[in-house]
Structure 1
């Protein structure tokens, strides 16, 4: 009797590990936007994988080695999409352009710390989402006068039209890559920048509505930006901002597949960017700088108090 119970427990443990592991492995490939639950689960996939690793260790301690191995292998399969899809391109030239992208936390990011980060990294272009005009003016006051004298049109603070592109060099604003529809979609301003050495380059500030607030609108925005980028000419293109999407979302991978993602690393793993205001490490990477027509030579993560996002600075070299 005892042997039967023990065997039944082993079978149940194996079945549970197989079901949990298979769910993790399949999750990054589920393209379902009618409910925010799937998108939310995909967003927190790194946290789920940490939980799966802990469970695998517990199973090992209980000598359930086969169940632990099943869960570990399936977890590894789920982890694969989180790594950059596009092979890195390295050029012999030194980095000639740099971009800083930050979700400014509804204009609450610490301007002094952000200005210090800008002075330290010396980006050519700034992309700030969830910003406000008072914050932009305070930031300019902290920097060398006229350092970022070129910008897209004033933001309308409130969570929808709140993205600005600031540049050291002249820019002309182009039609948005995505625009509001019945107040649901977040605008994505586009600027064509004239670099004195590199010529023209195009950059879009990205900030779709979170899938928790409107999964259908979120997915539609990502599809719309993807369709927009396919219509662009050969001018080097940068998409930067808070995508509210990770590499575990198939909608993001479809958009990013023709770009190189400037991924800051912590050891061998991609560094998360959200949430940055909790005592636990940021494990979710929803902020991105995607580039086409450039090679990423360096990507670093910056910390700015007052916002729940880490910023990213990407250094780029031209490869034509």
Structure 2
């Protein structure tokens, strides 16, 4: 008797469980998204790089070396550029909300940079006493500035003392006859055989009588001798017409020496005014440290972001590198003047000593 045929058994298909979802959501075939910690770390790294270029003076004084020395001279422009970057990142965040750490981090750097500039826009209280001293400083650009326009400015403003960087004996001989009838006396730091670019000229009004001029150098290697004025009716006041070397790539070390030397006049304990082309802005820690015992006339009147160089750029785009510093005075007024023939603007201030 044969066995009944086997009945086929029904196979139940086994369905594998779905793969686990990647962390942070998304489809099974999509790569996992970067976590919040990674985005924050990336934003902080980007902000750190941006801050090195925007505020190198806060990074252990990096602004004392190239290329940061040159970049920081235009910090107001860098702050404006970073503000645009923050706005763009903010707009990106509207579409990609996960990117929010980047505009937040960059906004913090922007706030730091703006905080470095803000005090120079706030004027000090006007001085109520003290003797007036009007100071004019103008880099005459290798002696090419319009001497007639400068003489007319002197006639109109009647400054008590004048500093003219990049003017030597050649330029002085052209200017002196135009103001001699006003009683001004002058002295150049270099003679006729030297190019004007190497010198500085100081002019003094007749109110100070028979003053003493002294020519000197910050250091043996300083390319620009200064002119120091004292005596006569100036009493214990000293006026210095000064020009620092520019911080080009090969001259930054000498630039630091020149600025440090200029600061010595502020520490004499006597009333001193130092005026001229410092080739540095108040963003440079070298200048701030050197002139810590002097007040900057432009900053005292809330005008220290008005560019004095170069004239080829608008006043809001260049650098404010021409200064009047005083160890015992406060600026009553401050003005930036456009005179023809130079790549610098002139600065005119009245101090109360």
* Interval of TM-score (by shorter of Structure 1 and Structure 2): 0.7 to 0.9
Q: Secondary structure at the match of 1:93?
A: coil
Look up the match of 1:187.
225
Q: Is the 8 A contact 2:172 2:188 kept in 1?
A: no
Gaps of 5+ in 1: none
Partner of 2:256: 219
Question: Match of 1:317?
Answer: 352
Task: Describe the shift of the 1:316–1:233 C-alpha distance in structure 2 as closer, same or farther (beyond 3 A).
Answer: same
Which segment is superposed worse, 148-157 or 113-122? 148-157
Greater share of strand: 1
Structure 2 stretches lacking a partner, 5+ long: 1-29, 94-98
2:107 corresponds to:
72
- The aligned counterpart of 1:201 is 237
The number of residues matched between the two structures is 312
Shift of 1:218: 1.0
Q: Please name the residue that 1:114 is paired with.
A: 150
Q: What secondary structure sits across from 2:236 in the alignment? A: strand
**Residues 100, 313 of structure 1: 8 Å contact kept:** yes
Q: Which moved more, 1:112-121 or 1:207-216?
A: 112-121
User: 1:33/1:77 Cα in 2 relative to 1: closer, same or farther (>3 Å)?
Assistant: closer
What is aligned with 1:171? 211
Deviations 1:64-123 (A, max 9, x none): 665334323322323444445999464323762100011111111122322233233221
Q: Deviations over 1:147-200 (max 9, x none)?
A: 31243555464377400111013321235261442xx542222111534xx633
8 Å contact from structure 1 (residues 150, 166) kept in 2:
yes
1: CA distance, partners of 2:300 / 2:244 = 24
SS at match of 2:181: coil
1:105 aligns to 2:135 (yes or no): no
Residue 18 (1) aligns with residue 51 (2): no
**117-126 or 302-311, which deviates more:** 117-126
Residue aligning to 1:248: 283
Q: 1:86–1:190: structure 2 CA closer, same or farther, 3 Å change rule?
A: farther
Q: How far apart are 1:24 and its partner, in Å?
A: 4.2
Q: Is the 8 A contact 1:219 1:251 kept in 2?
A: yes
1:136 aligns with 2:172: yes
Q: 1:123 aligns with which of 153, 159, 169?
A: 159
- Relative to structure 1, the CA distance from residue 9 to residue 266 in structure 2 (aligned partners, 3 Å threshold; closer, same or farther) is farther
Distance 1:107 1:74, change over 3 A: same
Identify which of 308, 321, 342 aligns with 1:286: 321
Q: Is 2:189–2:201's contact at 8 Å kept on the other side of the alignment?
A: yes
Whether the 8 Å contact between 1:109 and 1:306 is mirrored in structure 2 is yes
Q: What's the TM-score, normalizing by structure 2?
A: 0.76
The corresponding residue for 2:272 is 237
- Contact kept? 1:179, 1:186, Cα under 8 Å: no
Query: Structure with the greater relative contact order (CA < 8 A, sep ≥ 6): 1 or 2?
Result: 1
Assess if the C-alpha contact under 8 Å between 1:185 and 1:221 holds in 2.
Answer: no
